[in-house]
Amino acid sequence: MAKYSLAKYTLTVKIPQSVASLFGTSVITLGGSNSYTGSISVEHNANLWEVVGDATGSHVFNRNDDKTGNIDVQINQLSDKVRQLKTLINVYRSSQTIEDGLTLEIHDSLGNTICTAEDCMPQKTPNQTFENTAQMQTWRFVCGEITIY
């Protein structure tokens, strides 16, 4: 699993037109310094290679081209981005016809793209905890195809 600090990296959530018309914007950017964010984690669901051996000592490698996976974003509940993410999920929940996924991109501080995820959906609103101090929340996006550069 790759893990990136949101102080040095940004996550761009590109919203498809069918959702943006209801949501009000076509991009949400998370991260950068002073952004109340923690980290971004990227993980594929399957191993690329598996090996199977037998009692004779022979083996075979099996390749799996599954590129699906998850992107988890930790963000402090004080951030205005939490409100935007809640609204985004509510737009998806309220429509039975929206099927277009999001595109997520992770960029380093020089603007280089280090990860692209296509056809992503927000999994759910994370647990909302209200205490004396602001809490971190982990927002999960399930993705149809993740490419890490």
| pTM for this prediction | 0.87
| Mean pLDDT computed over every residue of the chain | 89
Helices (H) and strands (E) in the chain, counts: 2, 10
| Residue 131 parent element (H or E) | none
Q: 1-33 pLDDT, tens per residue?
A: 666 666 688 899 999 988 888 888 899 998 876
Which residue did the predictor score with more confidence, 120 or 95? 120
Task: Say whether pLDDT at 77 is over 90.
Answer: no
pLDDT band at 69 (very low <50, low <70, confident <90, very high): very high
Angstrom distance (rounded) from CA 15 to CA 6: 20
